[in-house]
Amino acid sequence: MDKTAQDADRNEAVQATAWSVFSELVKLRLTTMVLITTLVGFYMGLNAESGGLVQNLAKLGLTLLGTGLLAAGASILNQFLEREYDAKMERTAKRPLPSRQIGPEMALLLGGAVSVGGLLALAAWVDLLVAVLGAVTLVTYLFIYTPLKRKSEWNTIIGAIPGALPPLMGWAAVRGEVDPMGWTLFAILFF
Protein backbone atom coordinates (compact mmCIF):
# COMPACT_ATOMS: atom_id res chain seq x y z
CA MET A 1 0.00 0.00 0.00
CA ASP A 2 1.48 3.37 -0.97
CA LYS A 3 1.74 6.34 1.40
CA THR A 4 -1.22 8.19 -0.18
CA ALA A 5 -3.51 5.20 0.33
CA GLN A 6 -2.29 4.79 3.93
CA ASP A 7 -2.92 8.48 4.63
CA ALA A 8 -6.41 8.20 3.13
CA ASP A 9 -7.17 5.15 5.29
CA ARG A 10 -5.86 6.95 8.37
CA ASN A 11 -7.98 10.04 7.60
CA GLU A 12 -11.08 7.87 7.18
CA ALA A 13 -10.39 6.17 10.51
CA VAL A 14 -9.93 9.52 12.27
CA GLN A 15 -13.15 10.87 10.73
CA ALA A 16 -15.06 7.73 11.73
CA THR A 17 -13.71 8.01 15.28
CA ALA A 18 -14.51 11.73 15.47
CA TRP A 19 -18.08 11.08 14.27
CA SER A 20 -18.45 8.25 16.77
CA VAL A 21 -17.23 10.45 19.64
CA PHE A 22 -19.47 13.34 18.54
CA SER A 23 -22.59 11.19 18.16
CA GLU A 24 -22.06 9.61 21.57
CA LEU A 25 -21.28 12.94 23.22
CA VAL A 26 -24.46 14.60 21.94
CA LYS A 27 -26.46 11.36 22.39
CA LEU A 28 -27.52 11.54 18.77
CA ARG A 29 -30.41 9.06 19.07
CA LEU A 30 -31.85 10.86 22.10
CA THR A 31 -31.40 14.26 20.45
CA THR A 32 -33.15 12.92 17.34
CA MET A 33 -36.10 11.76 19.46
CA VAL A 34 -36.28 15.21 21.09
CA LEU A 35 -36.41 16.77 17.62
CA ILE A 36 -39.12 14.37 16.47
CA THR A 37 -41.33 15.12 19.47
CA THR A 38 -40.73 18.86 19.02
CA LEU A 39 -41.73 18.53 15.36
CA VAL A 40 -44.91 16.67 16.35
CA GLY A 41 -45.80 19.39 18.88
CA PHE A 42 -45.16 22.09 16.27
CA TYR A 43 -47.26 20.31 13.66
CA MET A 44 -50.11 19.70 16.11
CA GLY A 45 -50.04 23.39 17.07
CA LEU A 46 -50.67 24.60 13.53
CA ASN A 47 -54.11 26.15 13.10
CA ALA A 48 -55.94 28.67 10.91
CA GLU A 49 -54.41 31.61 12.77
CA SER A 50 -50.83 30.37 12.54
CA GLY A 51 -51.11 29.22 8.94
CA GLY A 52 -50.00 25.94 7.47
CA LEU A 53 -46.71 24.14 7.61
CA VAL A 54 -45.37 25.77 4.44
CA GLN A 55 -45.96 29.26 5.88
CA ASN A 56 -44.13 28.23 9.05
CA LEU A 57 -41.15 26.33 7.62
CA ALA A 58 -38.62 28.98 8.69
CA LYS A 59 -40.00 29.03 12.23
CA LEU A 60 -39.99 25.23 12.30
CA GLY A 61 -36.38 25.13 11.15
CA LEU A 62 -35.32 27.66 13.77
CA THR A 63 -37.29 25.82 16.46
CA LEU A 64 -35.57 22.55 15.57
CA LEU A 65 -32.17 24.27 15.39
CA GLY A 66 -32.50 25.82 18.85
CA THR A 67 -34.02 22.71 20.39
CA GLY A 68 -31.41 20.47 18.79
CA LEU A 69 -28.57 22.63 20.10
CA LEU A 70 -30.16 22.66 23.54
CA ALA A 71 -30.63 18.88 23.59
CA ALA A 72 -27.08 18.26 22.35
CA GLY A 73 -25.65 20.69 24.90
CA ALA A 74 -27.66 19.10 27.71
CA SER A 75 -26.32 15.68 26.74
CA ILE A 76 -22.74 16.91 26.76
CA LEU A 77 -23.19 18.63 30.13
CA ASN A 78 -24.90 15.53 31.54
CA GLN A 79 -21.90 13.44 30.57
CA PHE A 80 -19.60 16.06 32.11
CA LEU A 81 -21.51 15.80 35.40
CA GLU A 82 -21.62 12.00 35.26
CA ARG A 83 -18.04 11.35 34.10
CA GLU A 84 -16.75 9.91 37.39
CA TYR A 85 -19.75 7.60 37.78
CA ASP A 86 -19.60 6.62 34.11
CA ALA A 87 -15.96 5.58 34.55
CA LYS A 88 -16.98 3.04 37.21
CA MET A 89 -19.69 1.26 35.19
CA GLU A 90 -18.85 -1.15 32.41
CA ARG A 91 -21.82 0.00 30.31
CA THR A 92 -20.71 3.66 30.37
CA ALA A 93 -16.93 3.44 30.80
CA LYS A 94 -16.33 3.76 27.05
CA ARG A 95 -18.19 7.05 26.74
CA PRO A 96 -16.03 9.94 25.48
CA LEU A 97 -15.24 11.52 28.86
CA PRO A 98 -14.38 8.46 30.97
CA SER A 99 -12.37 7.00 28.08
CA ARG A 100 -10.53 10.34 27.73
CA GLN A 101 -11.45 10.85 24.10
CA ILE A 102 -12.36 14.39 25.15
CA GLY A 103 -11.27 16.28 28.25
CA PRO A 104 -13.71 17.51 30.90
CA GLU A 105 -12.80 21.17 30.34
CA MET A 106 -13.54 20.89 26.62
CA ALA A 107 -16.82 19.06 27.33
CA LEU A 108 -17.89 21.73 29.82
CA LEU A 109 -17.01 24.53 27.41
CA LEU A 110 -18.64 22.82 24.44
CA GLY A 111 -21.76 21.76 26.34
CA GLY A 112 -22.19 25.21 27.86
CA ALA A 113 -21.67 27.01 24.56
CA VAL A 114 -24.03 24.73 22.64
CA SER A 115 -26.72 24.97 25.35
CA VAL A 116 -26.51 28.75 25.55
CA GLY A 117 -26.52 28.93 21.75
CA GLY A 118 -29.71 26.87 21.67
CA LEU A 119 -31.40 29.05 24.29
CA LEU A 120 -30.35 32.25 22.51
CA ALA A 121 -31.56 30.92 19.16
CA LEU A 122 -34.94 30.05 20.65
CA ALA A 123 -35.26 33.41 22.42
CA ALA A 124 -34.13 35.52 19.46
CA TRP A 125 -35.66 33.70 16.51
CA VAL A 126 -38.60 31.68 17.83
CA ASP A 127 -40.28 32.89 21.04
CA LEU A 128 -39.14 33.78 24.55
CA LEU A 129 -41.67 31.32 25.99
CA VAL A 130 -40.03 28.49 24.05
CA ALA A 131 -36.62 29.54 25.39
CA VAL A 132 -38.00 29.56 28.95
CA LEU A 133 -39.43 26.06 28.45
CA GLY A 134 -36.03 25.03 27.08
CA ALA A 135 -34.28 26.47 30.13
CA VAL A 136 -36.68 24.58 32.42
CA THR A 137 -35.89 21.42 30.47
CA LEU A 138 -32.14 21.98 30.80
CA VAL A 139 -32.21 22.82 34.52
CA THR A 140 -34.58 19.97 35.39
CA TYR A 141 -32.50 17.45 33.43
CA LEU A 142 -29.07 18.52 34.67
CA PHE A 143 -29.64 19.69 38.22
CA ILE A 144 -32.64 17.70 39.45
CA TYR A 145 -32.95 14.47 37.44
CA THR A 146 -29.22 13.74 37.05
CA PRO A 147 -28.31 13.95 40.78
CA LEU A 148 -31.48 12.07 41.78
CA LYS A 149 -30.56 9.04 39.65
CA ARG A 150 -28.39 7.68 42.44
CA LYS A 151 -30.52 8.89 45.35
CA SER A 152 -34.21 8.31 44.74
CA GLU A 153 -36.75 6.30 42.80
CA TRP A 154 -38.42 9.64 42.06
CA ASN A 155 -35.75 10.29 39.44
CA THR A 156 -37.87 8.57 36.78
CA ILE A 157 -40.85 10.83 37.41
CA ILE A 158 -38.64 13.93 37.57
CA GLY A 159 -36.81 12.78 34.42
CA ALA A 160 -40.13 12.50 32.62
CA ILE A 161 -40.56 16.28 32.89
CA PRO A 162 -37.67 17.25 30.59
CA GLY A 163 -38.57 14.29 28.41
CA ALA A 164 -42.13 15.53 27.93
CA LEU A 165 -41.39 19.24 27.43
CA PRO A 166 -40.16 19.17 23.77
CA PRO A 167 -43.63 18.72 22.20
CA LEU A 168 -44.87 21.56 24.40
CA MET A 169 -41.95 23.65 23.12
CA GLY A 170 -42.98 22.85 19.54
CA TRP A 171 -46.58 23.78 20.32
CA ALA A 172 -45.54 27.05 21.97
CA ALA A 173 -43.27 27.89 19.03
CA VAL A 174 -46.18 27.94 16.61
CA ARG A 175 -48.92 29.18 18.96
CA GLY A 176 -46.92 31.64 21.07
CA GLU A 177 -48.64 30.30 24.19
CA VAL A 178 -49.15 27.20 26.25
CA ASP A 179 -52.80 26.19 26.42
CA PRO A 180 -54.66 23.04 27.54
CA MET A 181 -54.04 21.24 24.23
CA GLY A 182 -50.31 21.91 24.55
CA TRP A 183 -50.35 20.52 28.07
CA THR A 184 -52.18 17.48 26.72
CA LEU A 185 -49.21 16.77 24.44
CA PHE A 186 -46.94 17.12 27.47
CA ALA A 187 -49.15 14.73 29.45
CA ILE A 188 -49.13 12.10 26.69
CA LEU A 189 -45.34 11.80 26.94
CA PHE A 190 -45.18 12.33 30.70
CA PHE A 191 -47.61 9.56 31.56
The maximal CA–CA distance of the chain, rounded, in angstroms, is: 66
At 167 the pLDDT is 98
Question: Is residue 164 very low, low, confident or very high in pLDDT (cuts 50, 70, 90)?
Answer: very high
Return the exposure string of 44-80: e unless at least 16 CB atoms fall within 10 Å of the residue's CB, then b: bbbeeebeeeeebeebbebbbbbbbbbbbbbbbbbbb
Domain count, the chain: 1
Distance, CA of 77 to CA of 84 (rounded, Å): 13
> How far lies 82's CA from each of 61, 76, 108, 148, 186, in Å?
31, 10, 12, 12, 27
Establish if 5 belongs to a structural domain: no
Distance, CA of 82 to CA of 80 (rounded, Å): 6
Mean pLDDT of the chain: 93
Return the exposure string of 94-109: e unless at least 16 CB atoms fall within 10 Å of the residue's CB, then b: ebbbbeeebeeeebee
What's the pTM? 0.90
Establish if 158 belongs to a structural domain: yes
Q: Evaluate whether 86 touches 27 at the Cβ level (below 8 Å).
A: no
Question: Is residue 15 very low, low, confident or very high in pLDDT (cuts 50, 70, 90)?
Answer: low
- Domain with 132 in it: 26-190
Establish if 7 belongs to a structural domain: no
Task: Using alpha carbons, select from 182, 66, 166, 57 the residue that is nearest to residue 124.
Answer: 66
At 12 the pLDDT is 56
Establish if 86 belongs to a structural domain: yes
Establish if 9 belongs to a structural domain: no
The CB density around residue 146, as the number of other CB atoms within 10 Å, is 19
User: What CATH number is associated with residue 186?
Assistant: 1.10.357.140
Establish if 39 belongs to a structural domain: yes
Is 4's pLDDT higher than 80? no
Is 8's pLDDT higher than 80? no
Tens digits of per-residue pLDDT, 107-117? 999 999 999 99
Is 5's pLDDT higher than 60? no
Q: Evaluate whether 123 touches 62 at the Cβ level (below 8 Å).
A: no
Tens digits of per-residue pLDDT, 59-97? 999 999 999 999 999 999 999 999 999 999 999 999 999
Establish if 15 belongs to a structural domain: no
At 17 the pLDDT is 81
At 44 the pLDDT is 97
Establish if 18 belongs to a structural domain: no
